[in-house]
Structure 1
Amino acid sequence: MIDTVLENKRCDIIVFLAGDSDLNMTEARFCIEKSDSVIAYKNDIPEIVGCGTFRLWGKNRDKADVYLYVSSAARMFGAGTMLLKALMNDQKANALKFISTKVETNHLKSLEFFQKAGFEPWYTEVIFCHNGIRQPENNLIFRNYQPEYFEQYVDAIRNSFYELRRSNDFQPYYCCEPDRAKQEELERNKDNIFVLFQDEKFVASVTINDNFIEDVFVAPDYQGKGIGKEMMCFAVNKVIDSANSPAKLSAIKWNSRALCLYQSVGFELSKTIHYLRLFQ
């Protein structure tokens, strides 16, 4: 039996996922609370043995992510198929460009399930965890982001990530819209954004949120000069000095140069996640 889960009842699904799936409590809460629709699959007792979520995203909310989980004891009885069908029949699924999902490498049967349902491979994300070994110090001097850097920052990050986004069909191909919302977002996070200048020209930037390193980029004119590796050494050491957990980061498998760079400064592969999508 499939039921729509009201917002005030979603805590039951969070507890179910945290206790039965690979998600921890924080991940389960994020998955459920950020979803536009949540459905549950119950057995005859009735108890929750599966669930599905539907989350709209994109500037125009014209794309969606789906997440499915069925308890191992309830699999092979069509529960996953029924959950997916119910999500796809949701009125929110109408007029979407596509629906996407993600599957970790260690869940090959789930990968086969979505492919049989018509989902096509999209891209692969790799999660790295650092080995905790301090990296060599260097002479690069980083500053915290300031509002007056906005135009240079946006120009550099848009051009740095353009080819990756175009090759993997991450639309829009130019990220980081130069609008007021982005300006305010960067200002709120300025203490965690570190930028590098040479002769007052914007060179590179890295963001460090707790132990997670992200938005690592070097302006196109300065690439290939070893700046990326020195910046990663700075970021790793920063995490070692200030965080209680090993440094982590994610990357797109397509970006082989970045993967080699991260491994050269002590990052080790933690998990691989395959993204698939179904065009409507």
Structure 2
Amino acid sequence: MNIKVRPEVSNQEEVFQLLYGALYERALVLAQELPKTHSVQLCVGNHQAEQENSALFEKCGFTPMYRQYEMEKELNRVQETPELHLPELQFIQTALESSEEEQRYLRTESTIWPENPLGLHRLRRLKGSTDFTSFAALDPDSQLVASVMVCQEDDKTGSIEEVFVVPAWRKKGIATHFIRYGLQYLQKKGYAAARLSVLTKNEKALELYQSLGFTISGEEHRYGKELVKVESLSRG
């Protein structure tokens, strides 16, 4: 969620608090409908310069969660992707159309980010994006070991999403390979640029994206407020 009050409004904080109260009550209702397996947080993201807006959320009990860089790359000079020789793996392009593919993706993805798994609802929101596709690698047992998603961000810009490689297959160039495929795909779809987000403390990922020509275009600060704790959920 987020709340933006126009700067010319004289009683900005009063308007903010009225809107926040309504949204908070709605969030409490929605929280009760979520699976009772995780804590529930209400989250907001602001650009680094929006300090006054962030301060209003902090007054409401929000605390810093993490920061991330917004990165961008122009697609006027995208090189062809060289072959990657890993005969043990099967490389595929898929829109994750079947429920079996969705579940296979979610099983693997939840091991990469166990504290914040994507979940089926958010996955299907991504799948509903214009020009959505993914590039994936499967091991000999047909288990997912790496994935990169791409889709539209706006009319002129594509987005690189949910980049991961399972630990056993890292440092083999798979993420680089798939991101290059994603950039080629977006260029062929007519996008002028590609964007992605990366945690500011993820130095390895930041180095990878910079090596592929991405540059930092902004910084976003995320804040969260716990609505429901796992303990209270487990007690019913």
Q: TM over 0.5: same fold? A: yes
2:82 aligns with 138
1:28 aligns with none
Q: Which runs of no fewer than 5 residues in structure 1 stay unpaired?
A: 1-64, 167-172
Query: Deviation at 1:245?
Result: 2.3
Cα distance in 1 for partners of 2:46, 2:82 equals 39
**Runs of 4 or more off by more than 4 Å in structure 1?**
181-191
Q: Which one has more relative contact order, counting CA pairs under 8 Å at least 6 apart?
A: 2
1:161 aligns with 113
Q: Which has the larger radius of gyration?
A: 1
Deviations 1:230-275 (A, max 9, x none): 2112212222222332011123334332222111111111121112
Contact 2:135 2:182 in 1 (8 A): no
Q: What SS does the aligned partner of 2:113 have?
A: helix
Residue 274 to residue 225, structure 1, CA distance change in 2 (3 Å):
same
The equivalences for 1:1-280 within 5 A come to: 65-71=1-7, 73-74=8-9, 77=10, 79-90=11-22, 93=25, 96=28, 99-132=42-75, 133-135=77-79, 137-140=81-84, 141-144=91-94, 145=96, 147=98, 148-162=100-114, 166=115, 173-177=116-120, 192-199=133-140, 200-210=142-152, 211-279=158-226
Deviations 1:4-54 (A, max 9, x none): xxxxxxxxxxxxxxxxxxxxxxxxxxxxxxxxxxxxxxxxxxxxxxxxxxx
Cα distance in 1 for partners of 2:4, 2:69 equals 21
Query: Deviation at 1:278?
Result: 4.0
Q: What SS does the aligned partner of 2:83 have?
A: coil
Letter in 2 for 1:160: I
Cα distance in 2 for partners of 1:246, 1:86 equals 38
2:32 aligns with none
Contact 1:212 1:249 in 2 (8 A): yes
Cα distance in 2 for partners of 1:151, 1:98 equals 24
Please give the TM-score of this superposition, normalised by the length of structure 2.
0.69
Query: Deviation at 1:130?
Result: 0.7
Deviations 1:64-88 (A, max 9, x none): x2412222x44xx4x2210122134
Contact 1:131 1:268 in 2 (8 A): no
Letter in 2 for 1:156: T
Cα distance in 1 for partners of 2:48, 2:159 equals 22
Letter in 1 for 2:22: D
Q: Which runs of no fewer than 5 residues in structure 2 stay unpaired?
A: 29-39, 85-90, 153-157, 228-236
Q: What SS does the aligned partner of 2:5 have?
A: strand
Cα distance in 1 for partners of 2:125, 2:226 equals 31
Q: What SS does the aligned partner of 2:184 have?
A: helix
The number of aligned residues is 200
Contact 1:119 1:278 in 2 (8 A): yes
Query: Deviation at 1:92?
Result: 5.2
Residue 146 to residue 102, structure 1, CA distance change in 2 (3 Å):
closer
| RMSD between aligned residues | 3.2
